[in-house]
Structure 1
Amino acid sequence: MTVTIPIKSIDLRHGSAIAIQSLSWNDCENILDELGEDRQTRIAYHNGTLEIMSPLARHERPHRIAGYVVTAILDAQGKDWEDFGSTTFQKHGLADVEPDTCFYISNSAAVRNCEGRIDVDIYPPPELAIESDVTSKTLLSAYEAIAVPEVWIYRDEDLKIFLLTDGHYLESDSSLLFPDMSIKTLIPQLVSRAIKIGTSSMLREFRKSLSNTYGLT
């Protein structure tokens, strides 16, 4: 006997995830429609596997702090940027992914007016995606299909940087977007600093150091 359970009735505990195998692209889209946009879960779909993840409350803070650090650096460098948060990115028929947060930089003007799900067959993918406390096996393969050039994964006070190379991710000690900064050590240090003295105080300190670095007044 087969029992059909409405997706919305599945109650995931915070910090847990569910994987659904052998799922067609159309079925995945139907599930996304049923889940709606106003939800706390994150999804990753690739090659027939859909993972639905329910993050812990403590999961949110590191990626938010990392995002603040990114915007502080970009502002100090005088670069335009757009933060697309946990927008759903799609490669039609193949993949969906929702970052914890993500950024457009050189392509920010191309997507400034975009709303809702973004089809990467029409628009460029974000240049940076940031994730925290990730254990999903589907996530990186989905990012590969979407072709996000750089992915940061923060977990257990450590940052891993993945750069897209010939269609696959290779772990790197340095950031392609910020080659002159020791991002791998900087982000964990600033997350720890923010937790110790508060995010706003950490950012004021960091912006002051950036002003000295870039000669800003």
Structure 2
Amino acid sequence: MDLGIRPPSPRYREDRDNVVVLRGVSWEQYEEICDARDKRPRMAFLDGALELMTTSMRHELAKKLIARLLETYAVECTVALTGAGATTWRNKQRKAAVEADECYFIGPERERPDLALEVVFTSGGVDKLEIYRRLRVREVWFWIEGRFWLYALVDGKYQEVRTSRVLPHLDLDEIARILVTTDDEEDQTAVVRAYRDALRRRQ
């Protein structure tokens, strides 16, 4: 029997609850999602596939040290580098969205990042490079198993390159050596200071 009772419609969009229902989720996956909630998982989306990832301490230490070294290089070598952290970049029409470990603008433009950094300790997941291609990010660096893999966007497709196109004078082999030889327990500030001093000696 219809009593004519209806819940009130929300007056403003910001007052509405956002509900997402995932079907076909196993109990194990449910528990993983529960565990991930308190850790603010990073999300990536590609053609209907949604990836949620929580990062380890090792992951965070690596990405933070890379960021600090890169930003030190920018300061010492007068590069117009602006960090945007793990900003979410998305394009509904291209069905692609991602939160990089770190991303940067080089110069005054702010439409999309010039550089995205991804630290990878676990294989699988969605195709991040395809996401970045659809978002037209100029260059993507992956830190995998002790080395950098660089991809530059050329005519709408990524090409693997040996040196950065957006930071052509940066010696990434040197940064890789620093990362490989730095212990997780080591003082990052001391490592960054040593790198800064090495840059100054070359000027």
Asked if residue 189 in structure 1 is aligned to residue 190 in structure 2, the reply is: no
Q: If the length of structure 2 is used for normalisation, what is the TM-score?
A: 0.75
Query: Which residue identity is paired with 1:73?
Result: Y
Instruction: Give the superposition deviation at 1:39.
Output: 4.6
In the alignment, which of 112, 119, 122 is matched to residue 125 of structure 1?
112
Contact 1:69 1:203 in 2 (8 A): yes
Find the counterpart in structure 1 of residue 46 from structure 2.
46
In the alignment, which of 151, 163, 176 is matched to residue 162 of structure 1?
151
SS at match of 2:182: helix
Asked if residue 203 in structure 1 is aligned to residue 200 in structure 2, the reply is: no
**Distance change >3 Å, CA 11–CA 75, structure 1 → 2:** farther
Distance 2:30 2:119 in 1: 23
Find the counterpart in structure 2 of residue 98 from structure 1.
99
Q: If the length of structure 1 is used for normalisation, what is the TM-score?
A: 0.70
Distance 1:200 1:142 in 2: 33
Contact 1:194 1:200 in 2 (8 A): no
Query: Which residue identity is paired with 2:89?
Result: F
In the alignment, which of 6, 12, 17 is matched to residue 32 of structure 2?
12
SS at match of 1:175: coil
Distance 1:89 1:71 in 2: 21
Distance 1:100 1:45 in 2: 15
Find the counterpart in structure 2 of residue 149 from structure 1.
138
In the alignment, which of 138, 158, 162 is matched to residue 173 of structure 1?
162
Distance 2:23 2:126 in 1: 27
Moved over 4 A (4+): 2-5
Percent identity among equivalent residues?
24
**Distance change >3 Å, CA 66–CA 158, structure 1 → 2:** same
Instruction: Give the superposition deviation at 1:187.
Output: 2.4
Query: Which structure's CA Rg is the greater one?
Result: 2
Distance 2:153 2:90 in 1: 17
Distance 1:174 1:192 in 2: 19
Count of aligned pairs between the two proteins: 174
Find the counterpart in structure 2 of residue 87 from structure 1.
87
**Distance change >3 Å, CA 159–CA 3, structure 1 → 2:** closer
Distance 1:199 1:102 in 2: 20
* Runs of at least 5 residues in structure 2 that lack an aligned partner in the other structure: 1-21
Distance 2:23 2:44 in 1: 24
Query: Which residue identity is paired with 2:118?
Result: E
